[in-house]
Amino acid sequence: MKYTFPLAAVVALVLFSWIGASIPGMQYIFGIAVPYLAMVFFLGGFCYRVIVWARSPVPFKIPTTCGQGFSLPWIKYDKLEAPLTTPQVMARMFLEVVLFRSLWRNTKAMIYKGPKLTYESSKWLWLFGILFHYSFLIIVLRHMRLFLDPVPGVIAGIEFFDGILQIGAPTMYLTEVTILLGLFLLLGRRFFNRHVRYISQPNDYFPLYLIIAIVLTGILMRFFLRSGIDIIAIKRLAVGWVTFHPTISADIGSIFYIHVFLVSALLVYFPFSKLMHMGGVFLSPTRNMANDTRMRRHINPWNPDIKPHSYAAYEDEFRKDMVEQGIPVEKPLTAEESAAAEE
Amino acid sequence: MYDGGKIIPGLIIFVLFITFPIWYNRGNAGTVPQPELPKNYKQCVLPDADMRAEHMQLLNRWRDQVLRTGDRSFDVKIGDTMYQKSLMNTCMQCHTSKKKFCDRCHTYASVKPYCWDCHVAPVE
């Protein structure tokens, strides 16, 4: 169920956009209204989620350290794994975002006969993750050729190196292969690794299916279902989106609308799902805090404002009642006070 | 808000980065390229829409047939005349100018076909 329901959802999205975009006139909905709405949801939702996180206080200083922390100046400490200063934290964050160092540390626990427990380095998730994420990044950057006019040299350069094998026409891109490889390996991990399968939820499968569908529609559009794929008409529409003068000129094939609809679905789904780790990685307190608990006091922002109340002040406040109840006091009542108490 | 001084600039950079195409094009949708069509001929080897979408696959097929199997037969039909499978001897006979025909769309869409790695482009 948890495998098939998200798959059915993606198939439904494909069928919906396929049938929808075939109805005359609906191209304006699927080609203009839907992408704009999706972008609004994406940007608005993304900012909303980040601001909600920014408003949540971090009660404790909780950096995760995995190296020698700073103690005495002559004991060498691990600047990346137990960062003390802001530049060190930034270096750690940068390497986390760019190289996924915490996945690199992943270990696998196994029980052998004996029973004997072993931990062994397991870098598969890191490998699949890095394959997928960098392929996706290059693909997104490559798509900028359809949005920017004139096309900057950097984008053309990325495209040149991606298609450097010059296989077929249109040229096959390396990232088309690597992103599918990454996605199917990540999906296969959820299917075949018992531990991961046990903890996987429909919302783990859905984005994988959805991105696989986006990649497959893109590949089909580029190589196999070319009828009606007039790249000039498509670029005109894409440049139209970003200049707010969208024009749907020719009969663009349905596969294009399916591709655009699936990307729109991904954009809308993004801020409300686990995909927000894109923004969340920057806000993870275990990574973005310095390991300086012994040098700087971290005050819990939601601590109530309690004023100090000394015993002397306490006795001043309650002396009369204390004397009345026979509780010993340090400072006796003054003559006037005891006279007032008598009455 | 906590750490607003770092998070808000970060968010602004993110939004500017995502909306980069808007700032780059500055509202100017540009002109759609108009490749110059041959004046004396009305027909190509395939209907217009198919040529627009599939010419690169056709040329690639021709290249494979001619170079890899040595099949240089005159089996391309335009109207009633048969033509050779050839970029230089067939396509470029009508579409004489690379700059005014091929390059206009290819530059717009940032497509760099490697035809001219081997073929000598017409001097213009």
A37-50 pLDDT, tens digit per residue, is 999 999 999 999 99
Of the partner residues A228, A235, A251, the one whose CB lies closest to the CB of residue B108? A235
Specify if A295 maps to a domain. Answer: no
CB contact under 8 A, B57 and A226: yes
pLDDT of the residue at A182: 96
Q: Are residues A116 and A175 in the same domain?
A: yes
Specify if B122 maps to a domain. Answer: no
User: How many helices (H) does chain B have, and how many strands (E)?
Assistant: 5, 2
List the domain range (segments joined by +) for residue A8.
4-288
Please state, rounded to an integer, the average pLDDT across all residues of chain B: 87
CA atoms within 13 A on the CB side of A156: 14
Selected for mutation to probe chain B from A41, A235, A255 (highest B CB count within 10 Å) is: A235
Specify if A296 maps to a domain. Answer: no
Name chain A contacts of B33, Cβ cutoff 8 Å: 232
Of the partner residues A144, A230, A240, the one whose CB lies closest to the CB of residue B53? A230
Q: Are residues A253 and A204 in the same domain?
A: yes
Count of domains forming chain A: 2
Q: Are residues A337 and A231 in the same domain?
A: no
Tokens 């003068």 map to which residue? A245
Mean pLDDT of all residues in A324-342: 81
CB contact under 8 A, B110 and A156: yes
Q: Is pLDDT at A131 greater than 80 in this prediction?
A: yes
Q: Is pLDDT at A335 greater than 80 in this prediction?
A: no
Confidence of residue A98 (pLDDT cuts 50, 70, 90): very high
Q: Mind telling me how many Å the CA of B87 is from chain A's nearest CA? A: 15
pLDDT of the residue at A140: 96
Q: Mind telling me how many Å the CA of B5 is from chain A's nearest CA? A: 11
A150 or A337, higher pLDDT:
A150
CB contact under 8 A, B14 and A46: yes
pLDDT tens for A194-228 read: 889 999 999 999 999 999 999 999 999 999 888 88
pLDDT tens for A175-195 read: 999 999 999 999 999 999 988
Q: Mind telling me how many Å the CA of A136 is from chain B's nearest CA? A: 15
Confidence of residue A100 (pLDDT cuts 50, 70, 90): very high
Closest chain A CA to residue B114 = A166
Tell me if A267 sits within 8 A of A41, measured CB to CB.
yes
| pTM (predicted TM-score) | 0.89
Q: Are residues A107 and A212 in the same domain?
A: yes
Please state, rounded to an integer, the average pLDDT across all residues of chain A: 91
Name chain A contacts of B2, Cβ cutoff 8 Å: 54-58, 301
Q: Are residues A20 and A159 in the same domain?
A: yes
Q: Is pLDDT at A27 greater than 90 in this prediction?
A: no
A146-175 residues touching B, CB cutoff 8 A: 146-152, 155-156, 159-160, 166, 168-170
Closest chain B CA to residue A157 = B110
Closest chain B CA to residue A239 = B29
Percentage of chain B beyond pLDDT 90 is 21
- In angstroms, the CA B61 to CA A261 distance is 32
Specify if A29 maps to a domain. Answer: yes
Specify if A114 maps to a domain. Answer: yes
Touching check for A52 and chain B: CB below 8 Å? no
Q: Are residues A101 and A15 in the same domain?
A: yes
Q: Are residues A221 and A78 in the same domain?
A: yes
Confidence of residue A343 (pLDDT cuts 50, 70, 90): low
Count of domains forming chain B: 1
Confidence of residue A169 (pLDDT cuts 50, 70, 90): confident
Specify if B84 maps to a domain. Answer: yes
- In angstroms, the CA A229 to CA A252 distance is 6
- In angstroms, the CA A331 to CA A323 distance is 10
CB contact under 8 A, B49 and A227: yes
Touching check for B60 and chain A: CB below 8 Å? yes
Mean pLDDT of all residues in A71-99: 94
The two structure tokens encoding residue A292: 């300086």
Name chain A contacts of B118, Cβ cutoff 8 Å: none
Which of A184-188, A252-256, B61-65 ranks highest by mean pLDDT? A184-188
Specify if B13 maps to a domain. Answer: no
pLDDT of the residue at B29: 77
Selected for mutation to probe chain A from B15, B110, B117 (highest A CB count within 10 Å) is: B110
Of the partner residues A147, A156, A301, the one whose CB lies closest to the CB of residue B21? A147
pLDDT of the residue at A287: 92
Q: Are residues A333 and A238 in the same domain?
A: no
Q: Which of A152-156, A276-280, B39-43 has the lowest mean pLDDT?
A: B39-43
Confidence of residue A94 (pLDDT cuts 50, 70, 90): very high
Q: Is pLDDT at A339 greater than 80 in this prediction?
A: no
Which residues, in sequence order, are CB contacts of A151 under 8 Å at separation 6+?
A144, A145, B110
pLDDT of the residue at A150: 87
Which residues, in sequence order, are CB contacts of A21 under 8 Å at separation 6+?
A27, A30, A31, A254, A257, A258, A261
List the domain range (segments joined by +) for residue B88.
31-117
CB contact under 8 A, A54 and B50: no
Q: Are residues A98 and A135 in the same domain?
A: yes
Confidence of residue A97 (pLDDT cuts 50, 70, 90): very high
Q: Is pLDDT at A326 greater than 70 in this prediction?
A: yes
Specify if B111 maps to a domain. Answer: yes
As a whole number of Å, the end-to-end CA separation of chain A is: 82
Specify if A133 maps to a domain. Answer: yes
A250-309 residues touching B, CB cutoff 8 A: 250-251, 279, 282-283, 301
Specify if A294 maps to a domain. Answer: no
Of the partner residues A47, A144, A251, the one whose CB lies closest to the CB of residue B21? A144
Distances (CA, A) of A239 to A101, A245, A332, B20: 38, 8, 87, 12
Q: At A148, which CATH number?
A: 1.20.950.20
Q: Is pLDDT at A255 greater than 80 in this prediction?
A: yes
Q: Is pLDDT at A250 greater than 70 in this prediction?
A: no
Supply the ipTM of this predicted assembly: 0.90
- In angstroms, the CA B60 to CA B62 distance is 5
Q: Mind telling me how many Å the CA of B46 is from chain A's nearest CA? A: 12
Q: Is pLDDT at A342 greater than 80 in this prediction?
A: no
